[in-house]
């Protein structure tokens, strides 16, 4: 009887969250019975309980393992849970019809509806995301968001070994990547995530089929992904600027941005054209203008550099066509631009190094397009990238600086959860296992804060200092530094736009 009660709890929760209606109950129950191998069902009183859907799914996963329906492997349990939740999900055509009916009334209601469905259906991994350590910290450039990413589950060594064997044997290349439209409803397999409960909203961007989904591991409110219907490499070009502006014109409460299209300064998936967006205002969006200027022939476009650790040209205007023209003009000026006085070299042996990270938004009745200047050149001194986090900050952040970090949200590695506890203990003079690479930083804090370090203050001191380390990360990634020579070099580039 207990397993029947668990099934009924899942159905009741789906009804309460309005994923399905009361009249769908028997259908949903029969579908769940088939997945669990039942040919009858003993319905008792409606169960009570405060469990959320992820907790109920874990109970059903445990039952499936005990009965030999699946193996006790993370991927198989996720595939099973995804199938269970797909029972409650609308068909893609029904979802899109509901979405655009709501969109006609209010685009905010449409995205809120889709976001809540993605959360309630366990596509967005709310329980795992809740493990993340997240806070805000003040910097000279506003409040940065800091996230220690603990949401990614750890796999059993047996499963890791099985994945390796399958790769050696040659696993399927369907779907081609995690962002392909063929992921919608895809069951998943060992080494590839379950997507049975995954749905996409169909968009038209510049006459092309694009799709809207939410990130399974959101880093901020309504963290969405827009992906091309065609599996093709990411490109920062005129079309990209145009699509970003079209998207924020359609969804004016969202920003939209793209990772750069080159290794080191780009995102983790450069093989599929896609953007990110969401209903969130980052510190970068609030940054003040520093130097206001105009660009010849683009008289309807207002331009300014902004107060930010990385060099950003912000374009404003009401005419998206002219904004697109101006952005393309700046990109074409930047791609071949070199200034060896600040280590900027456009090409080495025919390899291009300059590109842009663009971010679009609609604010105060006009469009904004931020163009962050990037360069991915390496050197003997900086083999990971001249404009990449330098070795003295690798103890906090060594990974690429993509779109989210550029805007002021640090995504930091899970190892820091325990390592920062040891830093805290070291600062307080109690037993610790401090990693050697944190020692210079910890000693520096001891010297600067001295007696101000107490059990009551150490947490806030450490949060502030992690934020300042992330600021250093962004400064390292900036092609024009915030010092006198860097800002003079930035001015030279800006002046070159009117040559």
Task: Spell out the per-residue pLDDT of the chain, length 499, in tens.
Answer: 589 999 999 999 999 999 999 999 999 999 999 999 998 998 766 666 678 999 999 999 999 999 999 999 999 999 999 999 999 999 999 999 999 999 999 999 999 999 999 999 999 999 999 999 999 999 999 999 999 999 988 767 777 777 777 765 666 789 999 999 999 999 999 999 999 999 999 999 999 999 999 999 999 999 999 999 999 999 999 999 999 999 999 999 999 999 999 999 987 889 999 999 999 999 999 999 999 999 999 999 999 999 999 999 999 999 999 999 999 999 999 999 999 999 999 999 999 999 999 999 999 999 999 999 999 999 999 999 999 999 999 999 999 999 999 999 999 999 999 999 999 999 999 999 999 999 999 999 999 999 999 999 999 999 999 999 999 999 999 999 999 999 999 999 999 999 8
**Half-sphere exposure of residue 470, counting CA atoms within 13 Å on the CB side?**
30
Q: How much is the pLDDT for 158? A: 73
Kindly report the CATH number that applies to the domain delimited by 153-216+219-387+483-496.
3.30.428
- Which of 359, 361, 313, 315 shows the shortest CA–CA distance to 337? 313
Tell me whether the omega of the peptide bond preceding residue 175 falls within 30 degrees of 0, making it cis. yes
What are the φ/ψ torsions at residue 315 (nearest 5 degrees)? -105, 140
Q: pTM value? A: 0.94
Q: How much is the pLDDT for 169? A: 60
Dist. CA 451–CA 6, nearest whole Å: 55
Yes or no: say if 445 and 459 are a contact pair by the CB < 8 Å rule: no
Dist. CA 386–CA 480, nearest whole Å: 12
Q: How much is the pLDDT for 170? A: 60
How many angstroms separate the Cα of 180 from the Cα of each of 223, 236, 246, 312, 398?
A: 18, 19, 21, 31, 28
How many angstroms separate the Cα of 189 from the Cα of each of 37, 75, 165?
A: 21, 7, 13
Question: In what order do the strands lie in the sheet containing 142-148?
Answer: 133-139, 142-148, 409-412
Write out 397-427 in H/E/C secondary structure: CCCCCCHHHHCCEEEECCCHHHHHHHHHHHH
Q: Where are the domains of the chain?
A: 2-129, 153-216+219-387+483-496
Dist. CA 307–CA 467, nearest whole Å: 17
Give all strands (DSSP E) within 150-207, no chain letters: 201-205
N-to-C CA span, the chain? 79
- Which of 315, 320, 200, 306 shows the shortest CA–CA distance to 248? 320
Q: How much is the pLDDT for 346? A: 98
Dist. CA 195–CA 213, nearest whole Å: 12
- Which of 12, 68, 14, 476 shows the shortest CA–CA distance to 265? 476
Q: How much is the pLDDT for 46? A: 67
Dist. CA 316–CA 299, nearest whole Å: 11
Q: How many residues does the chain have?
A: 499
């Amino acid at each position: 009887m207990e397993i029947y009660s668990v099934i009924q709890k899942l159905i009741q929760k789906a009804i309460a969250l309005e994923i399905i209606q009361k009249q769908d109950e028997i259908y949903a129950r029969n579908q769940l019975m088939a997945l669990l191998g039942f040919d009858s069902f003993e319905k008792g009183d409606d169960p009570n309980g405060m469990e959320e859907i992820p907790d109920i799914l874990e109970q059903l996963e445990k039952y499936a393992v005990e009965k030999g329906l699946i193996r006790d492997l993370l991927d198989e349990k996720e595939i099973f849970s995804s199938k269970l939740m797909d029972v409650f999900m609308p068909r893609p055509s029904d979802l899109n019809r509901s979405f655009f009916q709501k969109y006609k009334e209010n685009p905010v209601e449409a995205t809120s509806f889709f976001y809540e469905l993605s959360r309630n259906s366990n596509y967005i991994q709310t329980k795992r995301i809740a493990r993340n350590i997240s806070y805000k910290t003040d910097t000279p450039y506003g409040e940065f968001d800091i996230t220690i990413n603990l949401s990614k589950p750890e796999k059993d060594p047996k499963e890791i070994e099985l994945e390796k064997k399958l790769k050696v044997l040659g696993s399927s290349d369907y779907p081609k990547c995690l962002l392909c439209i063929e992921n919608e409803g895809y069951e998943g397999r060992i080494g590839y995530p379950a997507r049975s409960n995954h749905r996409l909203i169909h968009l038209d961007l510049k006459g092309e089929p694009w799709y809207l989904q939410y990130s399974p591991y959101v880093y901020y409110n309504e963290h969405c992904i827009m992906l091309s219907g065609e599996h093709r490499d990411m490109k920062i070009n005129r079309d990209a600027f145009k699509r970003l502006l079209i998207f924020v014109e359609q969804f004016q409460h969202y920003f939209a941005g793209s990772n750069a299209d080159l290794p080191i300064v780009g995102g983790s998936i450069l093989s599929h054209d896609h953007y990110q967006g969401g209903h969130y205002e980052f510190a970068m969006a609030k940054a003040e203008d520093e130097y206001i200027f105009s660009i010849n022939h683009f008289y309807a476009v207002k331009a300014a550099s902004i107060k930010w650790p990385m060099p950003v040209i912000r374009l404003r205007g009401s005419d998206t066509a002219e904004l697109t023209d101006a952005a393309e003009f700046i990109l074409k000026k930047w791609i071949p631009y070199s200034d060896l006085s600040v280590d900027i070299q456009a090409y080495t042996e025919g390899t291009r190094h300059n590109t842009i990270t663009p971010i679009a938004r609609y604010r105060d009745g006009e469009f904004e397009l931020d163009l962050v200047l990037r360069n991915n050149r390496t050197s003997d001194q900086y083999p990971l990238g001249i404009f990449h986090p330098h070795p003295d900050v690798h103890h906090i952040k060594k990974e690429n600086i993509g779109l989210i970090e550029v805007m002021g949200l640090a995504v930091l590695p899970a190892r820091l959860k325990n390592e920062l506890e040891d830093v805290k203990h070291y600062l307080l003079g109690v037993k610790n296992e401090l990693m050697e690479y944190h020692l210079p930083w910890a000693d520096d804090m001891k010297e600067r804060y001295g007696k101000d370090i107490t059990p009551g203050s150490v947490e806030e001191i450490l949060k502030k200092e992690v934020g300042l380390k992330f600021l250093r990360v962004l400064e390292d990634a900036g092609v024009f530094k915030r010092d006198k020579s860097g800002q003079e070099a930035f001015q030279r580039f800006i002046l070159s736009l009117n040559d």
